[in-house]
Amino acid sequence: MIFRRYNTSVLAVVALGLLLIYYYIRQPLILSPFGAKILANQGTTLALAALAQLVVVLTGGVDLSVGAVVSLSNCIAATYMGSHPASVIAVCVLTLAVGAGAGLVNGVLVAYGRIQPIIVTLATLYIFSGLALMVRPQPGGLVPPFYANALTGGWGYLPYAMVALFVMLFAVWTPLMRSRLGTAIRAVGDNPGGAHMSGINVPRTLILAYVMGGVFAAAAGLYLTAQTTSGDAAIGTSYTLNSVAAVVFGGALLGGGRGVAPGPVIAAYFLSIIISVLFAAGISPFYQSVFQGGILMVVLVFGNLWTLRTRNWLTILKN
Amino acid sequence: MTPETTGAGSLLEVRAITKSFGGVQALNAADFACDRGEIHALLGANGAGKSTLVKILSGVMAPDSGTIFFDGQEVTFSSPADAGAQGVATVFQELSLFAHLTVAENIFIGHEPLTRLGQVSGRRMRAAARALFDRLGIDHLNPDAMLSDLSLADRQLVEIFKALSRDPRLLILDEGTSALGRTEVERLFALLRKLKAGGTSVVFISHRMAETREFVDRMSVFRNGALVGTVAAAECSDEEIVEMMLGQRVEKSFPERSPLPAGAPVLLEVERMSDGSRLRDISLRLRGGEVLGIAGLEGQGQGELLLALFGAYRRLSGRVLLHGKPAKLSKPWIAKRAGIALIPEDRKTEGLVLPMSVRENVSMATLPAYGRFGFVSLKRERQFVAQMIARLEIKVGGMEQPARSLSGGNQQKLVLAKWLATGAEVFLFYDPTRGIDVGTKRAFYELIAGLARAGKGVIVYTTETSELAGLCHRVLVMDDGQMVRSLEGRDITEPKILAASFGLGDGAKPEKVPA
Amino acid sequence: MDNLLARRLSDFTRHGVAVAYALLALLVIAAFVYDPGLASWRWIHAQLQIAAFIGIIAIGQTMVILIGQIDLSVPWNLTFSALVMATLSSDGYSVWLAMGAALLCGLVIGAINAVGVAVFRLHSLVWTLGMNALLQGASLVYTNAQPPKSDVPAVVREMAVGNIFGIPAAALIWALLAVFTVVVLRRSRFGRYLYAIGNNETALFVSGVDSRKVVLGAFMVSGFGAALAGILLTGYASQTYLGMGNDYLLIPIAAVIIGGTNVMGGSGGYVGTIAGALIVVILQSLLSTAQIGQAGKDVVFGVIILALVLLYAREARPTD
């Protein structure tokens, strides 16, 4: 039963486990403080982006602008951060606020504009990445070393990346999803009409979900800034696809209503680490996108195999 | 305006409520009153207006006119949430549940118990759910189970608990027990009696009259959108209630039934068809020139049977023979080629593409006939459509008019026109006259009789018992996915069909029907 | 109003097609007023040239959007197919065979897209997004990240930048395909079924029509169009390069939406898309003339699409 409900996320756990074992055999060095740090750093940006995607997917939508918000926050952070700790903190807060604003735009257009999430976020994808390019026409910027160290360093076997992720997960995500809002978000994605009949304010719930998604995408951008120590308006592009892949692989249902954080987070680490494993295994890095796209497609088909079992054609069509 | 007050006993009183849907009068100056602390059943044949009344009382829709008094005050219910806040909770059939939430989350959605930190308290929510279960003596429900893993009966229980969780003063159960077993129904009524003792009133709609009669205090019978009368449940016999539901014989004029020729060929034969859930061991036989009626309460598998014959189901067990030869009806286009036509349940979502024109809808199933190389000759298409419009006397401004702008009856004629052109031998009608005006109904009866006269086979499922009695050569009664009774000749009368559908009288015992 | 012409006229005004053509006329006038130097055959010639690429991609995208889906695999389908052609022709195969292989590639990619949508009932959005990434990787692997540097065959160059009677050959190819597309959408069974699926796939299915084949057709046309655009762009740029398709995701979709096709499917058509394609091209040209960079263009296009969708393609209220 567990497998049926969380089918693909169980698969993600197994896949990540096997991947790490294989990686260890090829490269024993990963079982060291340094290795742990490298592994943790690799997946954190995508894990945060996947959470951004997850909250929108839970409402029954898809957010194509996640990658653009990652780029935008990366550009803002790297451009305005300065080197004084106070300005760093101020810019981090500003960046998260920009992310929230981006989410608000998406949410209002979906909830009150009554436009399909796909079209809204496809259009805002261009708007946000255009803004990112305005902030930072050329890659570059300045990121103080202490900022980078605070997020990508480590203390023994404990990478700070894990600390950052856990803070976002347990101090932000979990409390929100365990509040009435969290249930409302899942209810809206599950059965919007039923949610309305149960007295849930559907537009408000949608907007808050998109705002939350924007904040997490911005957090992903902040982490990415610590990793790359520069700003690049094109850097976030791949996070749209990979966040969708992580969410689907992590057991969430496209169409809404079902999904919990651990699955997408683990899937995000898998999708990130597999790239270095491919590299370690001597496979050309050109295969990166083949794997990312291919994994998404395989997981999609796997997750929807039930359609080949449903008896009534009409229910398939009306779905 | 001074607040009008009603008799001290009535918790709810409805006066002269009227509601119509596009020309069809669902409620016509209906009255209804429910006392404090009583269990009150609403009865009536399909289409009598019960469901509309419930929707108005629960805030799902507003009445066209009329007033509602609740606890002596005139009220309006603007939404289900609003009705809930005023103390009216309704158990809908699965409408408001969430497949991917747990049982406890479903029950307390929107008013979950919180911890001091504003978090949903799973512990308190589970405890509250268990307390609710205990009140009803239910011990098999797990508050943490996913709703999607529950049986239909358990989901209905969850709906009931969801309504109860708000401590309503009036609880409305719409066909709330149709999926519950006998013991569950008894438990439910035990709880309802407890609620009643605490002053809560219950309005209860169920088709299982025989099962529920002993539990309710009073019964109100509806017919044609108005109240016929309210009686004490203990003082009325089944026969009297059936009579109230049917009322004075309104002689509808049905076309004369053509006699079934003795040597009429068997067009369609179904042997032990099952789909694993809603259809169980269905066997039937249809002759050319025969009108075969399918009766029964709503949702007993009639719709599934017609869809299955039209190829909309896959992996059916059993056998289908067309003209004596085995046929595998696995896709609608295969069924279409084999000469089967379906006039589906919902003309708006299944029968027609509403925004497209009359022309485009009528030619939808036969497009290849009007052109070559994948193209459509507009001239030939228009000729054909004009012919159909004339033959079925469809009232349209023009054939480029969108199907949406037509009346219900004319829309239904479009669906039929689409299928007449395919040269089908077997016509499946799913409730063809629902929501259409009397004149067009009459035209439909003529069309159905005409098909039979022309040697076609017709299977009709309709919720209007009078139609079955007036049109059919034979009537099969379905219950819970099975054929439980076959009525022929003189037995095809409204009371007998209704009694068999309700499981009353000599139709009470399910029995296998020889094909 | 039992007159086909009258209905076409009302469709024209109702579904934003008239808006699109009015917008196009305004834009052209605005362009000539803003910079009288633009009012030349040279400028029009250049616009037609570029609009052809967008218009050809938008044929398939119009059909896919008409059935309520979307094809996000265009950018790398375009690139991959172009790379296949360039590689084959630099390996010495005949140019016709190389082009045929590229077009076949596009068709196969479209067919795979359709299988995900029609058989597995996946939403085209994520399925084609995955396909796009897959093709991106495939392009890198296939060329080792080094697109062939050899000369583009003369035929391909002629198709893209040649002129016939002073009109760009690419625009003539587009015109031919456009006429065919309009006829197919209006007069063929396939066209009729596309609209039916976009409005109500269940009703078409219950009419005994295999809607899966129609979905297959729409996505294959989209794949074919992307491949053809890839070939033409190769000729236009005189080379193939990775990322040559990057600008061809939003712009053709914008052309379709600006042209009045409903993003939810079921209404609209290619006549509007033609205006849409010209509008986006002229807008780009004007933004360039005004020295607005790529960033500004992206923002402007995003805002314009949202504004137009808000104007005439909103979903019905859930309570209606």
Q: CB B99 to CB A190 under 8 A? A: yes
Instruction: Supply A204's token pair.
Output: 């408000």
Q: Report the residue of chain A nearest C247, measured CA to CA.
A: A126
Q: Which residues of B touch A179 (CB under 8 A)?
A: 114, 118-120
Of C7, C190, C203, the CB nearest to B350: C203
Domain ranges of chain B: 10-246, 350-422
**What is the distance between the alpha carbons of residues C266 and C243, in angstroms, rounded to a whole number?**
32
Q: CB B101 to CB A187 under 8 A? A: yes
Q: CB C267 to CB B355 under 8 A? A: yes
Q: Does C248 touch chain A (CB under 8 A)?
A: no
- What pLDDT does C1 receive? 41
| Distance of residue B110 Cα from the nearest chain A Cα, in angstroms | 6
Task: Give the model confidence (pLDDT) of B414-447 as tens digits.
Answer: 999 999 888 899 999 998 887 676 677 888 888 9
The three state secondary structure string of B41-65 is EEEECCCCCHHHHHHHHCCCCCCCE
- What pLDDT does C220 receive? 97
**What is the distance between the alpha carbons of residues A266 and A246, in angstroms, rounded to a whole number?**
8
- What pLDDT does C317 receive? 41
3-state DSSP call for residue B357? strand
- Quote the strand ranges of A127-186, DSSP E: 154-155, 158-159
DSSP3 helix / strand / coil % (chain B, rounded to 5): 35, 25, 40
List, as ranges, residues 129-168 from B with C-beta within 8 Å of A.
146, 149, 162
- pLDDT-derived band of residue B515, with 50, 70 and 90 as boundaries? very low
Whether the per-residue pLDDT at B103 is higher than 60: the answer is yes
| Distance of residue B10 Cα from the nearest chain C Cα, in angstroms | 32
Q: CB B81 to CB A198 under 8 A? A: yes
Higher pLDDT, A303 or B217: B217
Q: Does A316 touch chain B (CB under 8 A)?
A: no
Q: CB C196 to CB B397 under 8 A? A: no
Q: Does A258 touch chain B (CB under 8 A)?
A: yes
Whether the per-residue pLDDT at B5 is higher than 60: the answer is no
Task: Give the model confidence (pLDDT) of B282-314 as tens digits.
Answer: 888 898 888 999 988 777 888 888 988 998 887
Task: Give the model confidence (pLDDT) of A183-222 as tens digits.
Answer: 999 999 999 888 888 888 899 999 999 999 999 999 999 9
Q: Report the residue of chain C nearest A254, measured CA to CA.
A: C123
Q: Report the residue of chain C nearest A314, measured CA to CA.
A: C202
Report which of B489, B484, B490, B487 is spatially closest to residue B503, judged by C-alpha positions: B484
State which H helix or E strand residue C36 sits in: none
Task: Give the model confidence (pLDDT) of A152-190 as tens digits.
Answer: 888 888 888 899 999 999 999 999 999 999 999 999 999
- pLDDT-derived band of residue A116, with 50, 70 and 90 as boundaries? confident
Instruction: Supply B146's token pair.
Output: 């996913």
Strands B170-174, B201-205: parallel, antiparallel or unpaired by DSSP? parallel
Q: CB B95 to CB A313 under 8 A? A: no
A159 has which bridge partners? A154
Q: What is the ipTM of this complex?
A: 0.86
**What is the distance between the alpha carbons of residues B413 and B428, in angstroms, rounded to a whole number?**
14
Of B80, B100, B331, the CB nearest to A257: B100
Q: Does A315 touch chain B (CB under 8 A)?
A: no
Mutate to test the interface with C, among B367, B372, B406 (most CBs of C within 10 A): B367
Interior angle at CA C40, CA C54 and CA C31, nearest 5: 65
Q: Which residues of C touch A130 (CB under 8 A)?
A: 294-300, 302
- What pLDDT does B44 receive? 77
- What pLDDT does A193 receive? 84
Q: CB A286 to CB C145 under 8 A? A: yes
Q: CB under 8 Å, gap of 24 or more: what pairs does B440-443 form?
A: B440/B407, B440/B408, B440/B409, B440/B410, B440/B412, B440/B413, B441/B409, B442/B253, B443/B392, B443/B393, B443/B409, B443/B413
Q: Does A58 touch chain B (CB under 8 A)?
A: no
Structural domains in chain C? 13-284 (1.10.3470.10)
Sign of CA dihedral C194, C131, A4, A117: negative
Of B119, B315, B332, the CB nearest to A311: B315
Q: Does C97 touch chain A (CB under 8 A)?
A: no
Ranked by mean pLDDT, the top range of A72-81, A228-237, B195-204, C283-292 is A72-81
Higher pLDDT, A50 or B400: A50
State which H helix or E strand residue B114 sits in: none
Report which of A299, B35, B402, B333 is spatially closest to residue C2, judged by C-alpha positions: B402
**What is the distance between the alpha carbons of residues C268 and C14, in angstroms, rounded to a whole number?**
10
- What pLDDT does B108 receive? 92
Regions of chain C short of the pLDDT cut 70: 1-15, 312-320
Chains touching chain B, criterion 3+ CB pairs below 8 Å: A, C
- pLDDT-derived band of residue A56, with 50, 70 and 90 as boundaries? very high
Q: What is the mean pLDDT of chain B?
A: 82
Report which of C296, C260, C259 is spatially closest to residue C279, judged by C-alpha positions: C259
Mutate to test the interface with A, among B119, B144, B158, B278 (most CBs of A within 10 A): B119
- What pLDDT does B512 receive? 42
Report which of C239, C202, C215 is spatially closest to residue C89, judged by C-alpha positions: C239
Q: CB A313 to CB B119 under 8 A? A: no
CATH number listed for the domain at residues B10-246: 3.40.50.300
Higher pLDDT, B309 or B48: B309
Q: CB C267 to CB B422 under 8 A? A: no
| Distance of residue A21 Cα from the nearest chain B Cα, in angstroms | 34
Length of chain A: 319
Q: Which residues of C touch B55 (CB under 8 A)?
A: none
Higher pLDDT, A176 or B512: A176
**What is the distance between the alpha carbons of residues A247 and A213, in angstroms, rounded to a whole number?**
13
- What pLDDT does A286 receive? 84
Q: Nearest 5°: phi and psi at A293?
A: -65, -45
3-state DSSP call for residue A195? helix
Chains touching chain A, criterion 3+ CB pairs below 8 Å: B, C
Q: CB B118 to CB A314 under 8 A? A: no
Q: Which residues of C touch B368 (CB under 8 A)?
A: 189
Instruction: Supply B2's token pair.
Output: 């001074």
Q: Which residues of A touch C263 (CB under 8 A)?
A: 115-116, 119
Q: Which residues of B touch A54 (CB under 8 A)?
A: none
Q: Does B172 touch chain A (CB under 8 A)?
A: no
Q: Which residues of A touch C257 (CB under 8 A)?
A: 119
Of C7, C204, C205, the CB nearest to B400: C7
**What is the distance between the alpha carbons of residues B81 and C256, in angstroms, rounded to a whole number?**
41
Q: CB A300 to CB C120 under 8 A? A: yes
Q: Which residues of A touch B350 (CB under 8 A)?
A: 314
Interior angle at CA B47, CA B46 and CA B50, nearest 5: 90
Q: Which residues contact C146 (CB under 8 A, 6 or more apart)?
A: none
| Distance of residue C159 Cα from the nearest chain A Cα, in angstroms | 31
Of B350, B364, B375, the CB nearest to C196: B364
| Fold (CATH) for A2-318 | ABC transporter involved in vitamin B12 uptake, BtuC (1.10.3470)
**Beta-carbon contacts below 8 Å between A and C:** 165
Contact A20, A214 (CB under 8 A): no
Q: What is the mean pLDDT of residues B249-271?
A: 76
Of A118, A193, A317, the CB nearest to C205: A317
Q: Does B56 touch chain A (CB under 8 A)?
A: no
Q: CB B119 to CB A175 under 8 A? A: yes
**What is the distance between the alpha carbons of residues C141 and A169, in angstroms, rounded to a whole number?**
37
- What pLDDT does B482 receive? 85
List, as ranges, residues 190-209 from A with C-beta within 8 Å of B.
190-191, 193-200
Instruction: Supply C254's token pair.
Output: 């914008």
| Distance of residue C235 Cα from the nearest chain B Cα, in angstroms | 34
DSSP for residue B87:
T
DSSP for residue B293:
E
Q: Report the residue of chain A nearest C257, measured CA to CA.
A: A119
